[in-house]
Amino acid sequence: GDSVTQMEGPVTLSEEAFLTINCTYTATGYPSLFWYVQYPGEGLQLLLKATKADDKGSNKGFEATYRKETTSFHLEKGSVQVSDSAVYFCALSDPGTGRRALTFGSGTRLQVQP
């Protein structure tokens, strides 16, 4: 079945450092790819998405490019802030099943220190 693999955390960075969180996937068909963010005590929020190969999703300084050849969707940000501390989830859709559900990775906790 479809699956998503994320780098394990926690990832600890100093403010203004460069961030990369790796995400690779296995899927049949042509899924859309997503990054969700979960701040402490809250539900998940959509951060960005890409619907087809070579698309780049971006939001709030975060970016990720849908790479079909490497089945990857790595999340990057050039300069992290303390307020970016959260858990980040990579996810893919399941087109063709009729469910419109998402399959999630295990999540990566990011801690940004001042």
Rounded-to-integer distance, Cα 112 and Cα 94, Å: 33
| 59 lines the binding site for another protein (CB under 8 A) | no
Q: Which of 28, 46, 60, 113 binds another protein (CB under 8 A)?
A: 46
Rounded-to-integer distance, Cα 82 and Cα 114, Å: 6
Number of H helices, E strands in the chain: 0, 12
* Span interacting with another protein, options 16-24, 42-50, 65-73, 75-83, rule CB under 8 A: 42-50
* Span interacting with another protein, options 14-22, 65-73, 77-85, 105-113, rule CB under 8 A: 105-113
On whether the CB atoms of residues 71 and 30 are closer than 8 A, the answer is: no
| 49 lines the binding site for another protein (CB under 8 A) | yes
Give the shortest CB-18-to-another protein separation in angstroms. Answer: 25
User: How many residues belong to the chain?
Assistant: 114
Rounded-to-integer distance, Cα 28 and Cα 25, Å: 10
Q: Which residues bind another protein (CB under 8 A)?
A: 4, 32, 34, 41-46, 49, 51, 89, 93, 98-107
